[in-house]
């Protein structure tokens, strides 16, 4: 941990930026959790696990095909290794994922099925999820949010990128440091909505490449946008001087 220098106080603090962010995003767009309209907890679970490190487009396209082949936890258990790998191939990371889904299915089956899993204490469910190879804290916690109603704020790649651009977290932060900083600054009942809204923002506007800053509701508190604006002003000034009379 680095000591925070009081002299380094910025015009807009992390706390102020987070307040703005929560406010702006709830006005920007109301994003309903997709897992609320999905009744089948098996699909929620698998959808979340396969969402990791996978683009939205890929998931939209191939997840329905996957569920056609494997509509239930039991179907995962009955499948051969090759069948599972084949169905997972378009998602990438298929060997790891085949093993992950297989082991998850086995552990839940050993427990007595999905119903038994869902009636676990959340902390026990988290433990089970973390014992599955390929499932880490980020994934376990988003499953707890979706299936156990935990009001957590989970940081993923999109949210980390946005937080760094805004200047809310240090540039070297990982998912977990960003979460430690941001989660306490979001009211519990808004954490899921803010999480989902940020992911959508990251996909559509604050994209990895060529972000659409002019359309961004968080622009007023964004360091990246401010720098970009400054850069644009300077270069247009230089261009004008260069093309102007002597």
Partner DNA sequence: TTCCTGCAAA
Partner DNA sequence: TTTGCTGGAA
Among 12, 14, 54, 229, binds DNA (CB under 7 A): 54
Among 74, 137, 151, 223, binds DNA (CB under 7 A): 137
Please classify residue 87 by burial: count the beta carbons closer than 10 Å to its beta carbon, then call 0-12 exposed, 13-18 middle and 19+ buried.
buried
Half-sphere exposure of residue 20: CA atoms within 13 angstroms, side-chain side: 16
Among 74, 203, 223, 226, binds DNA (CB under 7 A): 203
What does the block give as tokens for 141? 């916690």
Give yes or no for a contact between 76 and 97, defined as CB atoms under 8 angstroms apart.
no
Q: Rounded CA gap, 136 and 89, in Å? A: 21
Q: Which of the ranges 18-26, 45-53, 180-188, 220-228 carries the binding residues for DNA, by CB under 7 A? A: 45-53
Give yes or no for a contact between 101 and 76, defined as CB atoms under 8 angstroms apart.
yes
Smallest distance, Å, CB 173 to DNA? Answer: 12
For DNA, the closer CB: 53 or 124: 53
Half-sphere exposure of residue 61: CA atoms within 13 angstroms, side-chain side: 9
For DNA, the closer CB: 59 or 228: 59
Cα 99 to chain centroid, rounded:
23
CB-based contacts of 244, cutoff 8 Å, min separation 6: none
For DNA, the closer CB: 61 or 180: 61
Residue 217 interacting with DNA (CB under 7 A):
no
Residue 158 interacting with DNA (CB under 7 A):
yes
Smallest distance, Å, CB 165 to DNA? Answer: 12
Among 14, 26, 75, 157, binds DNA (CB under 7 A): 157
Query: Contact residues for DNA (CB under 7 A)?
Result: 51-59, 61, 89-96, 130, 133-140, 142, 156-158, 161, 175, 199, 202-203, 208-209
């Amino acid at each position: 941990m680095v000591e925070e220098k009081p002299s380094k106080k910025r015009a807009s603090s992390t706390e102020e930026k987070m307040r703005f962010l929560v406010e702006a995003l709830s006005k920007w767009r109301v994003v309903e959790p997709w897992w609320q309209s999905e009744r089948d907890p098996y699909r929620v679970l698998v959808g979340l696990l396969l969402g990791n490190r996978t683009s939205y487009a890929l998931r939209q396209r191939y997840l329905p095909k996957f569920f056609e082949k494997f509509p239930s936890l039991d179907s995962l258990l009955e499948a051969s290794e090759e069948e599972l790998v084949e169905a997972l191939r378009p998602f990438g990371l298929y060997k790891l994922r085949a093993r992950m889904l297989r082991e998850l299915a086995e552990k839940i089956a050993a427990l007595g099925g999905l119903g038994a899993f869902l009636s676990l204490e959340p902390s026990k469910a988290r433990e089970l999820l973390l014992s599955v190879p390929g499932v880490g804290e980020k994934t376990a916690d988003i499953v707890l949010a979706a299936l156990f109603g935990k009001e957590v704020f989970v940081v993923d790649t999109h949210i980390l990128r946005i937080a760094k651009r805004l200047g809310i977290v240090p540039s070297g932060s990982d998912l977990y440091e960003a979460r430690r900083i941001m989660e306490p600054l979001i009211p519990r009942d808004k954490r899921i909505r803010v999480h989902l809204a940020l992911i959508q923002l990251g996909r559509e506007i604050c994209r990895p490449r060529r972000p659409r800053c002019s359309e961004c509701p968080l622009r007023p508190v964004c360091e990246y946008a401010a720098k970009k604006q400054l850069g644009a002003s300077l270069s247009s000034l230089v261009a004008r001087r260069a093309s102007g009379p002597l």
